[in-house]
Structure 1
Amino acid sequence: MPDTAILDVDGTLVDSNYQHALAWYRAFRRFGTTLPIWHLHRAVGMGGDQLVTHVAGEQAEADFGDDVRAAHGEEFDALIGEVAPFGDAEALLGGLREDGLRIVLATSGSSGTAEHLLGLVDGRRYADAVVTSSDVEASKPAPDLVELAVAQVGTTDAVLVGDSVWDGQAGVRAGVPFLAVRTGGFSDDELTEAGARHVVQSLSELLDLMRGRGKSAA
Structure 2
Amino acid sequence: MTESLIAVLDIDGTLIDSNYQHALAWYRALRSVGETYPVWRLHRLIGMGGDQVVTAIGGEELERRAGDQAREAQGKEVDALLDEMMPLPGARDLLVAIKERGHRLVLASSGQERHVDVFLDKLNARDIADAWTTSDDVEKSKPAPDLLQVALKTVGASPDASSVVVGDSVWDVKAANKVGMPALVVRSGGFGDDELREAGAVAIYDTPADLTKALNDTPLA
How does the TM-score come out when normalised to structure 1? 0.94
Is this contact kept in 2: 1:6–1:106, CA < 8 A?
yes
Indicate whether 1:168 and 2:170 are aligned. no
C-alpha distance in structure 2 between counterparts of 1:173 and 1:146, whole Å: 10
- Alpha-carbon offset, residue 209 of structure 1: 2.7
- Alpha-carbon offset, residue 33 of structure 1: 0.5
Gaps of 5+ in 1: 214-218
- Alpha-carbon offset, residue 208 of structure 1: 2.8
Is this contact kept in 2: 1:45–1:108, CA < 8 A?
no
Aligned to 1:209: 214
Is this contact kept in 1: 2:110–2:138, CA < 8 A?
no
Aligned to 2:14: 12
Q: Which amino acid aligns with 1:185?
A: G
Q: Which amino acid aligns with 2:76?
A: E
Aligned to 1:148: 150
- Alpha-carbon offset, residue 212 of structure 1: 2.3
Aligned to 1:188: 193
Q: After TM superposition, which residue ranges in structure 1, 4 or more long, deviate above 4 angstroms?
A: none
Is this contact kept in 2: 1:165–1:194, CA < 8 A?
yes
SS of the counterpart of 1:43?
coil
Aligned to 1:131: 133
C-alpha distance in structure 2 between counterparts of 1:161 and 1:96, whole Å: 11
Residue identity over aligned pairs, in percent, reads: 50
Aligned to 1:68: 70
Aligned to 1:96: 98
SS of the counterpart of 2:140?
coil
* Superposition CA RMSD, Å: 1.3
Aligned with 1:21 (options 20, 23, 32): 23
C-alpha distance in structure 2 between counterparts of 1:130 and 1:47, whole Å: 16
C-alpha distance in structure 2 between counterparts of 1:69 and 1:60, whole Å: 12
Indicate whether 1:200 and 2:205 are aligned. yes
Aligned to 2:38: 36
Q: Which amino acid aligns with 1:16?
A: S
C-alpha distance in structure 2 between counterparts of 1:74 and 1:202, whole Å: 28
Greater Cα offset, 24-33 or 117-126: 117-126
SS of the counterpart of 1:211?
helix
Q: Which amino acid aligns with 1:193?
A: E
Q: Which amino acid aligns with 2:152?
A: V
C-alpha distance in structure 1 between counterparts of 2:177 and 2:83, whole Å: 33
Is this contact kept in 2: 1:162–1:179, CA < 8 A?
yes
Indicate whether 1:116 and 2:118 are aligned. yes
Aligned to 1:53: 55
Q: Which amino acid aligns with 1:98?
A: E
SS of the counterpart of 1:168?
helix
Equivalences, count:
213
- Alpha-carbon offset, residue 201 of structure 1: 1.2
What are the superposed Cα offsets for residues 181-216 of structure 1, whole Å, 9 maximum, x if unpaired?
Answer: 101211111111121011111112212332128xxx
C-alpha distance in structure 2 between counterparts of 1:114 and 1:173, whole Å: 25
